[in-house]
Structure 1
């Protein structure tokens, strides 16, 4: 049975799992609403997700893939809601607006590029842009690797996001293989390795800070 016969099944599974992954930040929003403030919460997961949703949506239109278009429309909508919630509860709305303005300007530049690039090269070159941004977003938790090793704790890593990200990247890797799209294959092959690497840290280090565990033992 050729792989193309599994396209709809794999695409649907990837779509549903990605939706679940995109909904996971709602737990952060729930905590913000419960506390009544977004103080101490980094806005980049929301603003970054909103920006990547627009950029990946543009790529979906370029390759004319309905699954990618639909999932990124959903991603744009939920991240727009997350960003609104964060802004409403933000104690520093000016700083939030500045960060959002920078993100909007960056996305505008990226989308503007798609209007001036030749049709012959746009899919390949824009694919490179989305790949770099996508991998930077996935790899961002590893920027804290030094701190994780120093504290011997994975408390700062979001386990649900990483766990779901590992599953999602694997499913999109299969989808990329089926439709024979080099960028989707490369993005998600590297994304899967990065996510799995982060996931493996939970098997090495506990999710509870060492100091906190020591306090519990003393008590």
Structure 2
């Protein structure tokens, strides 16, 4: 690992810059999901978790950025919160059951955010930065791996259309870039976090290609 880090050191600035720009681009991947919803005029088969979770994580990451006094992190997460609110409102507009699909998970997400922010207010400042960062890591990985909770159903139905390709593909790319950056920095915390995130995202991309779903199959037959 040390030798690989030494080999990549000359590219440290480039990798960090590319990772930052791709992370910002990742926020716009939700536009493709919204376009799909608009074309179908329905949210059937589409999960709002990436949008609602994006709002919750954006708020928590914004708090973390304020703790670190990191202007870049603050700006990025303000953008993330704004875009995911827009995506969630768009999803709400076309949702058949607005309470079950949007309002209920949104209430649950805000309850978690309130508890964690409340904890941050009482935690010892000496421990807060590390522990808050650890909590964010766990929540980020849980959000990345959320579609895999239906893994048995996806395999049995041979249909992974519930996994948003654009968001998942971008997450795979982003976690890979930050993994490389973590290796360059020899940051164990960053390496572990992004290795797990990359594997979770890559697994979902593979599932999408293995089981494209009935709609994709039907459209391919119609084209033929």
TM-score normalised over the length of structure 1: 0.80
Q: Distance between the aligned counterparts of 1:210 and 1:35, measured in 2?
A: 11
The Cα of 1:191 is off from its aligned counterpart by 0.5
Q: How does 1:101-140 map to 2 (within 5 A)?
A: 101-140=107-146
Is the 2:60–2:136 contact (alpha carbons within 8 Å) kept by the matching residues of 1? yes
Is the 1:32–1:89 contact (alpha carbons within 8 Å) kept by the matching residues of 2? yes
Instruction: Find the partner of 2:158 among 149, 152, 155.
Output: 152
CA pair 161-210 structure 1, distance change in 2 beyond 3 A: closer
Deviations 1:148-188 (A, max 9, x none): 32233433333322222111001122333445544333211
The Cα of 1:107 is off from its aligned counterpart by 0.7
Q: Which moved more, 1:168-177 or 1:37-46?
A: 37-46
Q: Distance between the aligned counterparts of 2:42 and 2:201, measured in 1?
A: 30
Instruction: Find the partner of 2:77 among 67, 72, 84.
Output: 72
Q: Distance between the aligned counterparts of 2:213 and 2:99, measured in 1?
A: 34
User: 1:121 is paired with a residue of what secondary structure?
Assistant: helix
Unaligned runs of 5+ in 2: 1-5
User: 2:126 is paired with a residue of what secondary structure?
Assistant: coil
Q: Does 1:48 align with 2:16?
A: no
User: 2:163 is paired with a residue of what secondary structure?
Assistant: coil
Q: How does 1:8-87 map to 2 (within 5 A)?
A: 8-34=13-39, 36=41, 38=43, 41-87=46-92
Unaligned runs of 5+ in 1: none
Deviations 1:175-211 (A, max 9, x none): 33445544333211211122222233356x2424499
Q: Distance between the aligned counterparts of 1:100 and 1:180, measured in 2?
A: 37
